[in-house]
Structure 1
Amino acid sequence: MAKQDKRGRSARHDGRISPILGLVVGLVLLVAVGGAVYLLKAPAPAKALSESGPALATRIGVDELQMAPEQVAELQVGEVKTQRFELQREAIGIIDLNQDNAVQVFSPYQGRIGQLNVRAGDDVSKGQVLYTVQIPDLAQAASALISAGGNLRVANETLRRAQALAEAQSIPQKELQQNQADQQTADAAYRAARKSLELFGLSAQDIEAIESTRKIDTEMPVRSPLTGRVTARAGAPGQLVQPGNNPAPVAVANLQQLWMVASVPESELSAYQKGQNVTVRVSAYPDKTFSGKVSYIGDVADPATHRITVRADVADPQHLLKAQMLANFVIRVGAPVESPAVPQNALAREGDGSISAWVTTDGVRFKRRVVQTGLVQNGQVQITQGLRPGEKIARDKGLFLSNLYLITTT
């Protein structure tokens, strides 16, 4: 009886659905219903690009496209033209004073500045007094000259009388010789005194004026050694100055001609020669150019940058350029050449690094052609190989055509 009861309960248990199984079945039904609803409400699939409108182009062969007529106008189809290309190199450098025509005007003697007659920016001429220096030692040197001159005159007169007496045998020969020695000593002292004054920069006329007037002016002028402009004034009245003691009280430079100083890669050294024409531009005057010529090519390369100094003399008659200005230099390194030229937008750089242009004969079918390029000037690219003057190309959107070819089917 007990066994029958157990079998009955087991049979009733097997007839019931397990809770876990019911949960799984419910989830499956829920997902199925949601998917059906989504499919019913989802928009219809978009049409393919070819069905949504007219195709931009059709690939008709290897590296060849046939463009839709309405797209051709944007390609600016035109002929390859020739252009004159200047063989030139560009470099960035600075404007500097022409050191051959620039000088720091030091005082040739020690003393104190008495007067400063110029200011920075003043134009001066050669020989013009820039400043004066009060020289206490000059008084001593001038006094020595006056004294030596007087002694020489007395010695000359004494010797003259001694020679007359010696001829009459009125004095012994020994006394004559002594007078001769005294005269020579006085003459040597006089010459030495004159030399001392010459060291102060006095001319022969100045020295003779001191002798004749016996007046001593201890304030000496310092004159400009060249015609130019005062580029710096570091001195002040009363300042102690010495020969060669920096800074110089006044600096003068001829600004009619300046230097362009640039550093160029040593790999380009063979392209540069003295006498080559140079065109200079500075940001202060973007519409103006300055002309010059290469005057110096460095003899030593910088070991850190492996660049070499190239210097040119640049004319600046209006004094527009300033020292230490940054400037762009274009140096002509050869005669101009005539070559086929195309706009930069006509070319495309391909994935393999080559440069290509799209050539056409009928204005509708375009074929890609690999070209070799050279110089780029005024928005035009020199074509050294691959195109001939007169051939028709897409003068714009070359990169667009290359990309379009990749996504277009036959």
Structure 2
Amino acid sequence: MVDPAKQQLMGLRIVEATYQPLEKTIRTVGRIDYDERKLKQIQTKIEGWIERLYVDFTGTFVKRGGPLFSIYSPELVSAQEEYLLALQAKTRIGSSPFERVAASGRSLLEAARRRLLLWDITPEQIAELERSGTPTKTLTLISPIDGFVIEKMALEGMRVDPSMVLYKIADLSTVWVYTDIYEYELPLVKVGQEAMVRLSYYPGRTFRGRVIYLYPYLDSKTRTAKVRLELPNPSASQLKPGMFADVELKVALGKRLAVPHEAILDSGTRQIVFVESGEGRFEPKEVTLGLRVDDRHEILAGLKPGTRVVASANFFLDSESKLRESMGAMAGMAGMERMRMDKMQGMEGMGGRQ
């Protein structure tokens, strides 16, 4: 039993278990990387020799449709000649009174055109071939996207074939951020969830992204799972692959029954709070805990809303112990004082009898 005077002396604080809006913040570190969906490899579909490079160093920004290199290929020249012959044949037999003959001419021309398109010759280049009537010696390959050249293997004069990668181009309008989440946090993370990303390179600035994928396996050593975020890259070169970032994921948990974390005494096997039972009495009560959010802990079972508990269980035990020691010491001193007074009175009595 702890009467109000002792409670005040101990600095004891009582709080109620209440439903509170809880928001869990997961903090971790991430690494910026390329958006794999926006990476392009440049290869030829024909054998030949590179005659000229238009993009001759790594890091160059290229526009979609911009020239990368020109290639000479005997196969390409032959395919253009076949197309021109098919075009001439269609012109000659296109007006034939025999439909089967005219259809054959159209079919031959279409097959020759498809062959050129499959070799990445553009419709504009085919139209120019029809206009000029002369095969071009070289084919100019163009960039399929806006982006930065992140790898360049092409060299002037190099012999190339379809198996060779000549350029790698990355569109950096969006980037990915890879981060690791502990397994006990995984139930809180969902695809589509907003994430806030901060970089030391841009102090005071926050970039907003979203979770786009949760990897289906754990690292057995760190007990973490990889999470992938997508992040818009405003200037396409501001966020660079390889940068490290601080990542925050905020999880709204709704209203849940909670008490201060310090109100819980963890014995290792049980979690206990001290419940006010009236007239200065406090009883230990076992509880079942849920999530801890900052300085609060969710209560799954053991308490009802409005139950009054000691705000700091450890402080309560320490203060009560110290108070008992103090009261015991004071009682001991008082006893010694009484013994001294009794002794003095006894000596005075002996003197009077003499």
TM band (smaller chain): 0.5 to 0.7
Output aligned runs, 1:85-234, within 5 Å: 85-86=22-23, 94-113=31-50, 114-117=52-55, 121=59, 123-129=61-67, 131-137=68-74, 138-146=76-84, 152=89, 193-227=112-146, 229-230=147-148, 232-234=150-152
Q: Which amino acid aligns with 1:402?
A: L
1:46 matched residue in structure 2: none
Question: Judging changes above 3 Å, is the alpha-carbon distance between structure 1 residues 240 and 108 closer, same or farther for their aligned structure 2 residues?
Answer: same
1:13 matched residue in structure 2: none
Cα distance in 1 between the residues matched to 2:14 and 2:267: 22
Query: CA contact under 8 A between 2:71 and 2:140: conserved in structure 1?
Result: no
Query: CA contact under 8 A between 1:264 and 1:309: conserved in structure 2?
Result: no
Count of residue correspondences: 314
Query: CA contact under 8 A between 1:94 and 1:262: conserved in structure 2?
Result: no
Cα distance in 2 between the residues matched to 1:244 and 1:261: 34
Q: Which amino acid aligns with 2:234?
A: P
User: Aligned-pair distance for 1:388?
Assistant: 5.8
User: Aligned-pair distance for 1:240?
Assistant: 4.1
Question: Judging changes above 3 Å, is the alpha-carbon distance between structure 1 residues 283 and 193 closer, same or farther for their aligned structure 2 residues?
Answer: closer
Helix, strand or coil for the counterpart of 1:233? strand
Query: CA contact under 8 A between 1:96 and 1:323: conserved in structure 2?
Result: yes
Question: Judging changes above 3 Å, is the alpha-carbon distance between structure 1 residues 143 and 85 closer, same or farther for their aligned structure 2 residues?
Answer: same
User: Aligned-pair distance for 1:334?
Assistant: 5.8
User: Aligned-pair distance for 1:107?
Assistant: 3.3
User: Aligned-pair distance for 1:279?
Assistant: 1.7
Question: Judging changes above 3 Å, is the alpha-carbon distance between structure 1 residues 214 and 309 closer, same or farther for their aligned structure 2 residues?
Answer: same
User: Match for 1:402 among 286, 295, 317?
Assistant: 317
User: Match for 2:297 among 382, 397, 402?
Assistant: 382
Query: CA contact under 8 A between 1:116 and 1:237: conserved in structure 2?
Result: no
Give unpaired runs (5+ residues) of structure 1. 1-59, 164-176
1:48 matched residue in structure 2: none
User: Match for 1:354 among 267, 271, 274?
Assistant: 271
Bigger strand fraction: 2
Cα distance in 2 between the residues matched to 1:154 and 1:68: 107
Question: Judging changes above 3 Å, is the alpha-carbon distance between structure 1 residues 356 and 106 closer, same or farther for their aligned structure 2 residues?
Answer: farther
1:6 matched residue in structure 2: none
Q: Which amino acid aligns with 1:100?
A: R
Give unpaired runs (5+ residues) of structure 2. 329-354
Question: Judging changes above 3 Å, is the alpha-carbon distance between structure 1 residues 208 and 350 closer, same or farther for their aligned structure 2 residues?
Answer: closer
User: Aligned-pair distance for 1:322?
Assistant: 3.9
Cα distance in 2 between the residues matched to 1:118 and 1:361: 84
2:334 matched residue in structure 1: none
Cα distance in 1 between the residues matched to 2:219 and 2:256: 38
1:249 matched residue in structure 2: 167
Helix, strand or coil for the counterpart of 2:141? strand
String of CA shifts for 1:27-47, please: whole Å, max 9, x gaps. Answer: xxxxxxxxxxxxxxxxxxxxx
Q: Which amino acid aligns with 2:254?
A: P
String of CA shifts for 1:31-76, please: whole Å, max 9, x gaps. Answer: xxxxxxxxxxxxxxxxxxxxxxxxxxxxx66xx994684x64xx7x
Question: Judging changes above 3 Å, is the alpha-carbon distance between structure 1 residues 205 and 98 closer, same or farther for their aligned structure 2 residues?
Answer: closer
User: Aligned-pair distance for 1:214?
Assistant: 4.0
TM-score by length of 1: 0.55
Cα distance in 2 between the residues matched to 1:297 and 1:220: 43
Output aligned runs, 1:33-112, within 5 Å: 66=6, 69=9, 72=11, 77=13, 83-86=20-23, 94-112=31-49
Identity of aligned residues (%): 17
TM-score by length of 2: 0.61
Query: CA contact under 8 A between 1:95 and 1:326: conserved in structure 2?
Result: yes
Cα distance in 2 between the residues matched to 1:140 and 1:127: 25
Helix, strand or coil for the counterpart of 2:317? helix
Cα distance in 2 between the residues matched to 1:346 and 1:324: 44
